[in-house]
Structure 1
């Protein structure tokens, strides 16, 4: 079987006096049988080329799965008279949601067995589960396609009856009013933008639900939440750079919604409630790395905001948690996360202590106000994820749950983690890189190294443990995370300098990080591999256009590569909300800049590295046709004999396969591809 060759239908795209020719534009016809045929041919070709690795993929899958405890369960959490638990049963793919009244010794009550709901479905995902304040009713949402469009259903927990109320086309989240009769939920428009908030009364016709808010600005999304105090329900309307929040008392569903602060360009804020005050984290008044203010509920506008935690140039304030006697901050300084405890009455403060050179620490679920116990999470490249309880009064820590790595082969002391800093080409910045490898792996030009990157939306890829990753670490790979601009690893400015008209800094940082690892003898071009997904897939596409010889292999997962065409089409899901991230190409300066790096528009007749490209047919974030077109154009123009494989999951969306272990098959394919290039297929 030869590599598939897609047909070409010339499509002229013109704007700003510039002409682009897209011969594969026809692939966006989702219902076209020829599109399905092409995707199936590519899948068959991928399967053929990887056929020699089938047994090895199964071996990888089996060893990955064997590290997980199949009958595992979440750490029980007590709230509103019940202990809530999410657990998995051996041999089953989906979770079981349950609760126990008052004590863990009481009989388990199953709220939802997702395995039953998922029977006969190729894809199934539960979006959220929410119990009513009186503990008698429950809402739950589900998606059986993979496009993140959820249907909300309701269940009587006393009788087990599932009501006839079925609310379709939602984001999945339902917020209960305190009357136990009404819920609020968010609908999506035809472009999958969350744009309307409705109120539903149980037992009534869903078609007659009350519209309470309509977000008309297409660059804004809306969402819902209930405050930790359970006293207020909030509607949050947000763009990439602006927020607007309004609220009602949770006891009065018909109350008028009160604005906290009207939207203003570049003003971001979010709200939590305590007593007669709102605590607000915001970038107001030039607080680039955010600060915390408070204001009376009765007068919430910005003119009444009183500073509680000031802005600090060197520290990014990522979040906070309010307790009766304590305020807990989640901060990031020089890339590393810190948790700070402040005693409200005295102002005394201290930090939790962490010892790994690179790690992740975060405030966990804390629903109680009147307690001195803080739950937080911790993980590093060498330590599995743990949930811990810190006594803020006694300053003592207790491990509540540590994820087990089964199989008897993992010992944390066998792995080494580092954090190094690569000089950037601008001479002004250094790029942090988190690294992990087995203690028996020697750094050399012959050592294979996989470097991962993302670098968009201010999302930071922190150093965390991965059961799956052990399969390459134990086979002699070094693994690295490049904390490039476009993320917030070094603060908000690190993000701002990697977006819009400075987006290329993201790509340059990744290339400079890779070159540094080669220069420091961690690896060489012949053994260097890169991986990224979604906007990280855009990163992969850009860096191989700039420096294709730098990598031996690339894995691009659900890659966003046809940037210009997608951002010009406002009918494509999520496009309008992305203008503050990438720019609006209907304005010439953004069009020109975007076109200069867009991976699809810059494919050339030259050698490219070995590549594995993946997507999901029902992907709502990055449409399948972007990687499909990119693959076809690469096949047409590339001048090398390196592997180019394209795999479409015909029943999944942006997040890949549903089920707890099915996604491991995707990991096994990706690792088998890289290990094949390294001639490290076991038993070969």
Structure 2
């Protein structure tokens, strides 16, 4: 070999990442210019865009090929742990018990029902075999049949008439969350000729002749309510309500009593309700109370001492809301109402459900979601709410699956970080609580082998941040451990305790799972949310970094053993943290990440943008907001420094966070950063929630899980 050959640079080995072409466009707002090299990727019909995305997928697949064994192991673990042939606990509605079945090998559930047996206990669900269908079982929908030949499939709404004779159900076969409503005669099994297209989620029957639903505008804002008369074409449907203000969305439903139809109108800050007697579906809705900026309220119907009343949850007297009651004819101000549960700075009221004989109250205290009940006394009316007790320190409990107005029982769900999902019946009149079902977890799972505990980190401004730490008991914290740190921190959404079958794959490989309950979420009440939005948004990012610093300072982990994960708005958190404190992490996974927020918030024609201005601020019309968002936008603040390895996962048909945001972000990271590996995985079918079908979802989740586990443990199996 010659001297020249010996000194010649060695050609790079391994997969070579694609290099995105730069086609600069200049964005000009408020006297500021921003040159965007990758905005051209927004055109997903362009051959150049599609070729680039396919090249990114090929590169990611090549780089992650050594993790195939780990991914397959995780999927097999899921199959072992999940009871694949199973059924839900039947829910009583009218003369039937309704439930869902899953069968091993099938990706989607079957929706079924069984007639209530005469003479049987009216409110004790029947015991039905998981493996065999009982005599008289009726399959209402087999989603596996409906999904045949589709790359993506999801149900948006299922609603049965009170008589039980007709079913309405909506479907989406692309992932763009635009639904088509179908109607089925459950007596004959035949589909009706009626079909409604271009619908949003939800919708409901009023009697058997009318169906109410919501449509969206071009920005995918649910803005109008429509009345469909069965047996007539959609072109003859009547628009009964339109909301012109682009900050507001609408929804329609009937009260549990089925006495009123309610149209809810809301923005991030303000609410309004309109009601109409259900026995007069072609009548005119009346406004309960005209909207007042900053006042949010919602209503439900209760019968108190024989009189129809509205139970109102509102924030007029404090950010954590209170519960009041008033007349069904409406009111002109909150001051006219009688207070049932006053505002409390330490208790966040989340909602009230009304039944014939009792009310249920959902609320949050000490970062835990709780539930209480109140019996309605026939003579004195309202009594006092009493909390339903549970044993664990960190848990989640809530009511659900309670369609019947006159039911003497409340169906409850319960879970924790280490307790699989449970279903209970609770009788408010007696306080009796009956366990109906606990999620069966195979693979030798024993909750006694795991521990979940609450710790507290301190932010730079002195705020105490709750931290949930979940681990195997044999994985002690007296030496640094591999850690995956999760966060969200937006929309007042809370990372509440919940059992994760997929999460066991990391825990059983020695990983400690940590949840950072940062500001912008709802764990500590409305003020906690307000302190992490708009012009306080950077608190969310600083809190997450403070939690990472806490874990490192306590010796629980090290930067080499610490990874982070977040999705959607949690992906914004990941992008901002990568810029502001990436040296704390070895890897970051960002799922459908909102990493180009300023560009999106400057485009009112995009889905959700205008309604989001009360979450992030309005940079289109406000220079202060523009400057603030530009200061933290992940895409616009990528700099020439070493970054942790980053994986971004997105979906081509996502209408909430467009694929272009992570695509641009990864391209800019690769072109600018001085170190770090950057991967983009684009699902070419599916929407914001990912792929459909449980087995495909397991594989999708296993992809990111395997990548993170490998980064903090080095394991490939």
Q: TM-score, normalised by structure 2?
A: 0.93
Contact 1:463/1:481, CA 8 A, preserved across alignment: no
Contact 2:351/2:361, CA 8 A, preserved across alignment: yes
- Equivalent residue number for residue 155 of structure 1: 184
Structure 1 residues 366 and 329: alpha-carbon distance in aligned structure 2, compared to 1, 3 A threshold: same
Structure 1 residues 348 and 305: alpha-carbon distance in aligned structure 2, compared to 1, 3 A threshold: closer
Distance 2:403 2:163 in 1: 17
Contact 2:710/2:716, CA 8 A, preserved across alignment: no
Residues 530-554 of structure 1, C-alpha deviations (whole Å, 9 max, x = no match): 1000000000000110011010110
**2:434 maps to which of 398, 418, 443:** 398
Residues 129-151 of structure 1, C-alpha deviations (whole Å, 9 max, x = no match): 11112221111000000011101
**1:467 maps to which of 494, 501, 508:** 501
Distance 1:53 1:351 in 2: 47
The range that moved more, 631-640 or 99-108, is 99-108
Structure 1 residue runs of 4+, over 6 Å off?
none
**1:233 maps to which of 250, 261, 265:** 261
Q: Which runs of 5+ in 2 are unaligned?
A: 1-14, 118-125, 127-133
2:31 paired with 1:17? yes
SS of the counterpart of 2:86? coil
Distance 2:192 2:365 in 1: 49
Distance 1:40 1:530 in 2: 26
Residues 554-593 of structure 1 mapped to structure 2, 5 A cutoff = 554-586=588-620, 587-593=622-628
Structure 1 residues 353 and 567: alpha-carbon distance in aligned structure 2, compared to 1, 3 A threshold: same
- Equivalent residue number for residue 654 of structure 2: 619
Q: Which runs of 5+ in 1 are unaligned?
A: none
2:260 paired with 1:260? no
2:313 paired with 1:281? yes
Contact 1:151/1:172, CA 8 A, preserved across alignment: no
Distance 1:324 1:127 in 2: 29
Aligned-residue offset at 1:444: 4.8
Residues 616-655 of structure 1 mapped to structure 2, 5 A cutoff = 616-640=651-675, 642-655=676-689
Distance 1:362 1:391 in 2: 14
- Equivalent residue number for residue 130 of structure 2: none
**2:203 maps to which of 171, 174, 180:** 174
Contact 1:156/1:163, CA 8 A, preserved across alignment: yes
SS of the counterpart of 1:240? coil
Residues 494-518 of structure 1, C-alpha deviations (whole Å, 9 max, x = no match): 0011100000011111111111111
Distance 1:395 1:254 in 2: 42
**2:629 maps to which of 594, 601, 604:** 594
2:239 paired with 1:211? yes
Structure 1 residues 124 and 349: alpha-carbon distance in aligned structure 2, compared to 1, 3 A threshold: closer
- Equivalent residue number for residue 12 of structure 2: none
SS of the counterpart of 1:100? strand
2:333 paired with 1:299? no
- Equivalent residue number for residue 82 of structure 2: 68
Aligned-residue offset at 1:154: 0.8
Residues 663-682 of structure 1, C-alpha deviations (whole Å, 9 max, x = no match): 11122111211222235434
2:216 paired with 1:202? no
Residues 168-208 of structure 1, C-alpha deviations (whole Å, 9 max, x = no match): 11113221112x11111111112111111111111211112
SS of the counterpart of 1:160? coil
Structure 1 residues 584 and 330: alpha-carbon distance in aligned structure 2, compared to 1, 3 A threshold: same
Contact 2:374/2:428, CA 8 A, preserved across alignment: no
**2:418 maps to which of 351, 374, 382:** 382
Distance 1:344 1:257 in 2: 28
Distance 1:191 1:20 in 2: 25
The range that moved more, 56-65 or 138-147, is 56-65
Distance 1:544 1:402 in 2: 39
Structure 1 residues 335 and 223: alpha-carbon distance in aligned structure 2, compared to 1, 3 A threshold: same
- Equivalent residue number for residue 188 of structure 1: 216
Structure 1 residues 194 and 382: alpha-carbon distance in aligned structure 2, compared to 1, 3 A threshold: same
SS of the counterpart of 2:626? helix
Structure 1 residues 341 and 205: alpha-carbon distance in aligned structure 2, compared to 1, 3 A threshold: closer
Contact 1:357/1:417, CA 8 A, preserved across alignment: no
- Equivalent residue number for residue 695 of structure 2: 661
Distance 2:275 2:385 in 1: 32
- Equivalent residue number for residue 354 of structure 1: 390
Distance 2:70 2:655 in 1: 32
- Equivalent residue number for residue 131 of structure 2: none
Aligned-residue offset at 1:340: 2.1
Contact 2:511/2:709, CA 8 A, preserved across alignment: no
Contact 2:398/2:412, CA 8 A, preserved across alignment: yes
**2:404 maps to which of 360, 368, 374:** 368
Structure 1 residues 679 and 374: alpha-carbon distance in aligned structure 2, compared to 1, 3 A threshold: closer
Contact 1:445/1:524, CA 8 A, preserved across alignment: no
Residues 100-124 of structure 1, C-alpha deviations (whole Å, 9 max, x = no match): 1113565111111111010000000
**1:545 maps to which of 574, 579, 582:** 579
Distance 2:595 2:188 in 1: 50
**1:311 maps to which of 327, 343, 346:** 343
Distance 1:391 1:613 in 2: 47
Structure 1 residues 134 and 662: alpha-carbon distance in aligned structure 2, compared to 1, 3 A threshold: same
2:52 paired with 1:38? yes
Residues 374-427 of structure 1, C-alpha deviations (whole Å, 9 max, x = no match): 2211111110011111222332221111111122x1000000110011111102
- Equivalent residue number for residue 52 of structure 1: 66
2:168 paired with 1:139? yes
Distance 1:445 1:656 in 2: 37
Distance 2:596 2:536 in 1: 18
